[in-house]
Structure 1
Amino acid sequence: MFSHIDGELKVRILLIDDNYDDRLLITHALEHEFPEVELQEVFRAQDLEKALSSRQFDLAITDYELRWTDGLTVVGAIKSLYPDCPVIMFTASGTQEIAVEAMKLGLDDYILKSAHHYVRLPAAVKSALDKVEAQRKVAGLESRLQTLLDNLNVGIYRLGEGGVLLEANKAFLRLAGFSYITQNAEILSKLEFNGTRDREIILRYENDIPIWVRISQTVTTKEGAVIIDGLMEDISLSKQREAERSRVMAELATAKEELKRLLGEACEANRIKDQFIAIVSHELRSPLTSILGWAKILRSGKVSETKLAQGLETIERNANLQNTLIEDILDISRIIQNRLRLNKQPINIAAIIQSVLLDVKPRVQAKSITLESKIGAEVGRIMGDAARLLQVISNLVNNAIKFTPQGGHIFVELQQINSSIQFTVKDTGIGIGADFLPHVFEPFRQADNTKARTHNGLGLGLAIVRNLVEMHNGAVSVKSEGIGKGATFTVELPIYSIPSQEINESLEKSKQDEVEEVPSLSGIHILIVDDDKDTRELLAQIIEGYDAKVTTTASASEALSVLLQLEPDILLSDIAMPQEDGYSLIRKIRSQPGDIQRIPAIALTAFAREEDRKQALEAGFQQHLVKPVNLTELVSAVCRLGIRANLR
């Protein structure tokens, strides 16, 4: 290695040039600058090979164009053997491309031969030697620094792009549980910069005991790459002591907060329950008032035909309202208990929307509301429960009418977006406040729950809508800019792709169902079993209106006796009756000898759950109808079983 003697720089240089005059000029220039220079001249291939094997030089200068080879080969040979040795190319025959290739091989400097460039050569030599000396000093410093870092009790590390561990001292390796620098993703991922310079983390576990460390990081960017330099201090012992001191206090605080939370939830639940019960009482009593009031008026017989029609319409409307309220309560109960079941099949939701819009037309006209609709003609079919989707659409449209003032505007749209359909109801109604907007779909919640509220209802409709939509693998959302600025409800449901043949068959069946008429029940004998006299008389009145013969009984035991004597064609029985219920009755009938055991039977009951339907069918009934039953549904069911009875 080069050195200084009496203040002069002594350097050994390997000069590779097959031109004697050039070697002479180079020697003159170097000896003038470096009096103590030792030059080893090479102008033959065998001399170069010998010089490279002995390595008696600190720096090499080579021409590009040599008789036996070229400068690029020489640079490559030197750098492959001695990567740290500076090499300068001094040539008159090089090009820019040659210079670039030489630099790629590790060339330190490139100088074109000319009269004034001979003066530049010594400066290039000195610069290259200074660079080597600086690198040597840096290496020494790095070695001493690494020794110092290794003896510290603080972990020091450097992470590169992607959390790669580039450097680390022994303390870091010990804390991380490493024997050497390795890429353990589980641990190194915890050390990546997360925006916080100083933090405390659990680095790992040793024998189920956490190793806590405090890390401090600095992030820099070097040549486009992110570098993380960090310090890591073991704080496991202090953490253990801190945890032990605070454990009791933490448990006490947690218990206190939990008690406070539970108390708050209980109070809120009790408040909502009391509020809901009060609303239920009000909502059920209001239609009852109209029903009972008009019933007394009509019984007096002192009413005109006009008042009679008005009274009957009022009674029917309020009875339907009560039925809706009860169905909502039952639906939310089924939802809470996860007992609501869907009868899914491919359906045309556009037709359901059109039917709802047709049904609400009188209400819209009564409030002078402008109702616009845009129903996409090419909207696909969906897999769903038609009755439940009708409930969803009807709820949203009727809500819009309910909360839109006189002369307002409602826009209904159905469109297909990719593989989903989107149903939107937008109104110019009273809007929804920002504080209540997150609670719109929660059960028992109403924006106005005061006694002076202007809109009735139980606050269950939108909760039922959300659950029904989600049961169809869809989503419902609401937007409102605030009070008085209207609201927009949007339902998204997935498209169901089915073969065209199946679609045609389904459409044909729907058409047949729509035009099906209930034929006369003449010649069919029906036995009605119900402990409630009013219900027996009502059912008898309905069925006799279709020319059927009806026998009524008030108990299961009486029904069994009549059944054996008269052998009717169809049994229509209640379930909940004193002494003996409808399940017991049908089981006894099915165990009788002869044809009577095969009598078609309908269960007509107020038990409306899915499990109630299954229990009735398992007991021996062919159909399960729920009170209050739809007249058409009842007569259709009797008609179908009447046909079966005639085939017995």
Structure 2
Amino acid sequence: MKSRNCKRGRTRIKPPDRKERIIMSGALNILLIEDNPDDRALVIRELSREFPDRHFTQVSDANQLTPALQRGPWDLVVTDYELHWSDGISVLLAVKGRWPDCPVIMFTGSGNEEIAVQAMKAGLDDYVLKSSKHRARLSAAAVLALDRARQRRALREAETLYQHLFNRVPVGLFCVALDGRIIEANPAMIGMLGYPDRRTLLEVDANSLFASPTERRRWLAAVQRSGVVERFELRLRRCDGKPIWVEINARAVKDEQGRTRHREGSAEDITARKRAEEKLRDSREQLRALVAYQQSVREEERSRLARGVQHEVDQALTALKTDLSWVERRLTGGAGPSSLSSALERLEKLPEAVDSIMGTIRKIASELRPPVLDESGLEAAIEWQTREFEGRTGIKCQFDSKVRNARLEPERATAVFRLFQETLTNVVQQAKATQASIHLRVEGDKLVLEVEGNRRTDTGRKISRARSLDLLGMRERATLLDGEVNISSRHGKGTLVDVRIPLHSPGELKTN
């Protein structure tokens, strides 16, 4: 507050602008408690000079005090100390009991320093004597009292707002002393750490909340090094012992000498995010491994086919060429009737050799893509593959189809057929099953293929890397078609592979 010199030679504190005054109903409501009418007139005259826009309520006896207090709130109370029916301390306590925030000034002709100290401890804002030397200070005391009351209200509102934010913000807030004592924590922090209430958490040493001593040292080193840490990730341990990942933003609060007093900041639970990141990393690793594995499988399949072509077809063609050369020599060498008869016998056997070569070629082609899939559809192809697998492995298979006029896009039919082949090889045969049942049906807008073997297979951590990639490849093949593959091993019932593929792609027009 700025001061100015008045004409009377006294120093008076300039009051705040009228807009800053706390007024009720457009006027400053002042309660004046005084049993001397002359002194009441003196107070009214002094305060009216400073506050033209004011309203006085006068109390001169005990019967008027209680109703007056109940009619509040009041912007200012001015009371005498020596009242014929009470004293200023009692009045002060009564006012503060009803209106704790109301400023009170004691304007008295008697009293001493002891009374003034007692009154100040009880909440009195100022103590002014009625003597001609001091009475002029009444207006300045009123201005100061009103300003302090306004500041107290503003501070209380700010504290209320801060407390509201502190309690409602969805991020954990904390304040920790250098010795590890938790000074303060908001409900979000308490809930994040799984403690039942604030008192229980404040009894915990903050150093024990770190998941490991290494992480605690790393955190302390970061704070001590720069005084501020942002987006610092570490693990804390909840009340139930479970670790959680948190992201911390904090700073060291220092005193005037630059010494750290305590540390305060925010903490956010990022456990779900860390799990998602770990899952993404694992998926990328699996994808890289799957790509490499599939490339290896393709190369191995090409090598197998090349060996098959070279071993079977090449040998058969070589034998056919040898026979043709032999026949040519017999027919062109001027041989006798016996040689001609032998050549004719050899020629009669050549169609059988050609049929054998054609059969070998058809077998190789069928392994690449069975013609029945294109000629007769998925249902017939699965039945053919079931019989071929049964004949090749000796595993007894039973096929049951309830598909009626279900039409799939060629690439979807091919994918389901490949999934069926992979299921027979990677699940049924690997589990060393002796029996297998295959069911094909339509449920809603999905084609369902179930293959169940009578032996259990590993689906957890015991599974080999190659088998894991085989199963991953099956799931990826289904995912590309918005489908799914679920594999479960049931005690006493073997292994069940459940394949579900939508009959139509998302953009395909469905027609009856």
TM-score, length basis structure 1: 0.33
Higher relative contact order (CA 8 A, sep 6+): 2
TM-score, length basis structure 2: 0.40
